[in-house]
Chains A and B, each alone.
Chain A
């Protein structure tokens, strides 16, 4: 039994208006207007939900979506055009093309840590591809969820794009409906539930999950390089939602002899960026809720882990703040090294030789992102060839997220499917193969009744041995 909103969405889709390039572009422009005209409200919502600084919000949320929309607007005509294919002469006269078409009704599950980006970036893809959409924001970012529920119907085609707010029960209800695709950003645990629910209607899914994203830090000799590396590492850990990001650095791998130098530089960057006293921290997001706050605090409470803290460790429970914390060699079987941290705790694991980092990483599930700071070209090649991750970035962190020409997605337990740029368009399209044939030049050899001649013909045909075919016809080939 289809519910009311689904019926409306199906009607909108069947009417064909979402397929129109004009409709898609108007919706994309409406997203831009929505962002431009409600900037302060967005800043406010994210301040309340996550304590995010407006610059962080603009850089990681508003700016990212604007970039995606602008890029989509400039490319959408090209993306929508059927792609012509070359056919072998044997098929003459025929033509073939691959034609992208919308899937239908898309369900987007949004995570709480980047509640604007992770709702609107996939939305850009779904709209570009001509679909109708339901967005389910996370109830853990309630202000942003309410903001989206308020503004999206005001700016976008409300019969084609809907926001449905709520918690687990709403999500469960949504999962029972029939969707043409489900796009999920979140944890592996919930992803299993989503994929299992998708089985009923054979709904394809894209799962953008996480994992423990390692950063390999090779010994860098130039001081400037070191300083830049430390800044980028700090930004990559604490700069995006205080470590609560799927592509935040989870832990660092560094050679023993280099670890103290690195730690000193990181401490410097932390103090400069965020301050020293836990009651006086700035430019740092808060922990999203009590559950995660307690989870992170518990990670530090393991005595062996607590003993490894070399910086930070203080918490401000009232304001849900945890100080950027650096740990040196916590035990590898402690929970902090088993589960995705998703918070401001940074374990630094030392190795005898930095090349051992490859084996270390390979013995663990494939992460969404892998970072490596090194100038050694041979080592770079080795990392590219011998490790597997959603993406790999050299000498920087997080920034691969804004490269629209690179597919963004996981592998293994970090997920499957990808988006960004044209990949977003593709993620929400079906690429339909269309072959046009003519009635002329019917190849009789294709059909029964079978005989030796036909079989020989087919053998030449399949080898595209046109000369052989001609000779066969002329009776000159055996």
Chain B
């Protein structure tokens, strides 16, 4: 029997509790509190075993937030001063930060893997691909291209402003807040920060408290490697985030879910702060019978269970395939699962675990719902102590079931079947636009139709996930899956203001600009705008001398 008390615990608290021996059963699981709870009346709900509940009450006390509005005020004021000094705008400063960031990642790889293993049981190779390699890649790209990116872009001028020249100058926005999440705590913290630094901004990073080892490592590394006067990490949870959100930022970058995304946008609205919201959604994968089944299955398994065990914003959430093809697909998926994780996936070292008990319970209740639990065709096993759920495939769950209503973000894969593969389009379009949409087919017409008729943040034909790694492609959502995009130069652009600059001399004024306004001027004006050279000449001949 579990006693439950809701609580908000920050990294320090969790370490205190774990060192007291409460961590015997695994790690201390931090529950997400209801964000609408006012900080005065926090109730404490600690998910732990009954043995510990007595000792818990001794340790759990009302924790005063150490990062409050006053601290946030001062933080922003200090950062503004540094930004206004012009230091962060220089090419040298930006290159220095990016170079240090690269060193930071390369010199601390082992610690990064350790933190990721502690937070998520993430296997090292997965961590390398998805967290280390991608961030070092972003640093290197920025270092290589920054001088090009920073150059003003020439703009064309027309006869209306002749003689003139124009350019578009990129300038930093000022002070940027990056709020990151727990599933790829390094990637989703560092990638936006790299973009913000490349664009010349001062940055505050608020990593997710739900991945506490990663958060405190980030905090330590930033202090050691980056310019502390302009780049800061604020650790914490709801209170700290709220204090930060009350400030006026020049841009806020948030990765996470739609519910918190709304809170952030609402806070931003007060200061008219532009936001980038990288959210999620239910990313569908359509599987046609006309496809290379083995490779498709491999790539689906990789994208679903090979990436943080389904806890990825662009993981294939659910599959749609034809009734006839479903059994073959399920078999192929089963085979690939064994290839990847062996016969006992729960014991495989190559599979991440679930982040915490809250999500474990959320996922098990999705599986255990009536009319859903009997649709499990593969998997369904769970181990609460280890926070693991085996790769689970479900066939034809009702579309109204909870598992088909919310983003799964876990190792459950529902397969919906249709009569004809084209029917899948209606299912997808009847839902909110996802962050990614996938299709596996060799049928060129079907591919074309999919690209044309489905709207999603990004799309991948015959594969999953990897479009994220192409930094010449913008990465971002649309509709419920978010707004704004980044990666590669898009990151630089997202954190810049593109200022239009027009240079004129003192000659070249069309007489139509200034009063007194005469009918002749109107004729000339019309001619100029229509670009009809004869009309212009005619009007000019009729124009009285100035």
Contacts and interface: CB of A to CB of B under 8 A. Distances in A.
A459 B442 CA distance: 31
Contact of A395 (B168, B474, B504): B504
A458 interface: yes
Interface string B459-492: 1111100110010111100111011110000000
B279 to A, nearest CB: 7
A70 B532 CA distance: 13
Contacts of A385: 89
Interface in A142-156: none
A239 B513 contact: yes
Interface residues of B, number: 106
Given A228-B509, A392-B499, A462-B133, A403 B157 contact: yes
A241 B482 CA distance: 38
B515 A283 contact: yes
B457 interface: yes
Interface in A177-200: 180, 188, 191-192, 195-196, 198-200
A413 interface: yes
A124 B254 CA distance: 31
B182 to A, nearest CB: 21
A359 to B, nearest CB: 10
Q: Looking at chain B's contact residues, is the secondary structure mostly helix, strand, loop, or mixed?
A: mixed
Given A273-B516, A454-B125, A439 B462 contact: yes
B502 A400 contact: yes
A180 to B, nearest CB: 7
A431 B467 CA distance: 14
A416 B272 contact: yes
A435 B504 contact: no
B525 to A, nearest CB: 6
A394 B137 contact: no
A372 to B, nearest CB: 10
Interface string A90-113: 010000101101011000000000
A48 interface: no
Contacts of A431: 474, 485
B522 interface: yes
Contact of B470 (A16, A85, A180): A85
A231 B455 contact: no
A55 B525 contact: yes
B483 to A, nearest CB: 4
Contacts of A283: 515-517
A405 interface: yes
Contacts of A389: 499
Given A437-B462, A454-B125, A400 B500 contact: yes
Interface stretch (A59-67, A168-176, A249-257, A288-296): A59-67
14 contacts: A96-B470, A202-B262, A202-B479, A384-B499, A392-B502, A395-B504, A403-B155, A403-B502, A413-B272, A416-B272, A432-B455, A448-B348, A449-B348, A462-B129
Interface of A: 14, 16, 53-56, 58-59, 63, 66-67, 70, 85-87, 91, 96, 98-99, 101, 103-104, 180, 188, 191-192, 195-196, 198-200, 202, 204, 207, 209, 222, 224-225, 228-229, 231-232, 234-235, 239, 272-274, 282-283, 362, 380, 384-386, 388-396, 399-400, 402-408, 411-413, 415-418, 430-439, 442, 446-450, 454-455, 458-459, 462
